[in-house]
Amino acid sequence: MTAQFDSVRAIEWRNDRLYLLDQRILPVSETFIELNDARVTADAIRDMVVRGAPAIGVTAAFGIVLAAREAFAKAGADWKRAIEADLQILAGSRPTAVNLFWAIERMRRVMTDLGASNPEARLLAEAQAIHAEDVAANRTMGELGAALIDPSEAVITHCNTGSLATGGYGTALGVIRSAYAAGRIKKVFADETRPWLQGARLTAWELVKDGIPVDLLADGAGAWRMKNGGISWVIVGSDRIAANGDVANKIGTYHAAVAARYHGVKFMVVAPSSTVDMKTATGADIPIETRSADEVLHIGGRRIAAEGAGAWNPVFDVTPAELVDAIVTERGVVLNPTTEKMRAMMA
């Protein structure tokens, strides 16, 4: 039923190379970039060619395949020592997205079981498994999350959580795709999501491609849209979920959660279990990446702010668990999350 609303794939392995759809230039141009080594892959993650925690994890896994190819070519049987620098470069590309470290650790576990022979084929199989598992998990989450939505007019989403942010189908946008296919919602309101405008450039692009009605909101318009009625849920993704259910996500998510609670709109977080970091007790312990002020002061390379003005540019904020009505993972649904409930789901 949902296949008709699943037309986008942003990460591809073909011709023994990694290809990423360049999300910096969407929707103006649909251009794939060819990546040949781990350092270029790390740059692509850092420079926002690819973004979204699950997609970053999948990309890093394929980056390790490229690193292994180069390490074996240079060092032969000593490839494990040679690959270490590239693993550190990949790990340093984005600090908040826990899926990055999860994917690297999973690939490391495979590496420990490999001998001195060429590791590329085995590591490629693992990276492809990570990719396929992510798509399957997203479809499961889509059905679980959609089941929570009583038939209603519309939902609001923030940032981009679709195929572009994952291996395919999406987390929060996967729920929206499944809910629309099931007739549970009629349309989507998408926050523009400053400063990178992922909602305007990416979420709207995905929904238009799949024929799902979407209206954009200026980030500050969400509360007033809720006040005017017809919104049943705010549905978002996450880059890291702490053990107590606190949620780090794109800046503006906390703002939306506060507005939702005031207006009686439910708030759903959708993310794979690899995003849940049980080693991080609360959101206060999550490192929050801060990027260049130029991203706020400029749009499309053109300065929009007065000369002399500075900018504060945290990429993420933390929504406390008490503002979250549901966390949806492929393992199940946690309502009104607490540490105990999160621990039970992850057991």
d(CA 135, CA 2): 13
Q: Where are the beta strands (DSSP E) in 140-221?
A: 154-157, 187-191, 214-217
- pLDDT at residue 3 in the model: 64
Ramachandran class of 308: left when φ > 0, alpha when ψ lies in -120 to 50, beta otherwise: left
pLDDT at 4: 73
For residue 95, the model assigns a pLDDT of: 80
Q: How many CB atoms lie within 10 A of CB 329?
A: 26
Distance, CA of 337 to CA of 312 (rounded, Å): 30
What is the set of domains in the chain, with CATH numbers?
2-136 (1.20.120.420), 142-346 (3.40.50.10470)
Phi-psi region of 170 (alpha: psi -120 to 50; beta: other; left: phi over 0): left
What CA–CA distance (Å, rounded) separates 18 from 45?
A: 13
Identify the active-site residue in 86, 239, 277, 317.
239
To the question of pTM greater than 0.75 for the whole model, the response is yes
- 3-class secondary-structure state, position 236: strand
- Taking a C-beta distance cutoff of 8 angstroms, is the pair 254, 317 a contact? yes
Under DSSP, the state recorded for 238 is: -
pLDDT value at residue 102 = 94
- Residue keyed to tokens 């781990």: 38
DSSP of 84-132: HHHHHHHHTS-SS-HHHHHHHHHHHHHHHT--SS--HHHHHHHHHHHHH
* Both structure tokens of 14: 């073909």
Largest CA distance in the chain: 65
60 alpha carbon, distance to own chain's centre: 13
> Which amino acid is residue 250, in one-letter code?
K
State yes or no: is 325 an active-site residue.
no
β-strands 187-191, 240-242: how paired? unpaired
Tabulate helix, strand, coil % of the chain (nearest 5).
Answer: 45, 20, 35
Identify the segments of the chain with pLDDT beneath 50. Answer: 1
Residue 52, CA distances (Å) to 37, 239, 309, 343 in order: 21, 7, 29, 24
Q: Is the torsion defined by CA of 135, 140, 145, 151 positive or negative?
A: positive
Closest to 166 (Cα-Cα) out of 191, 133, 212? 133
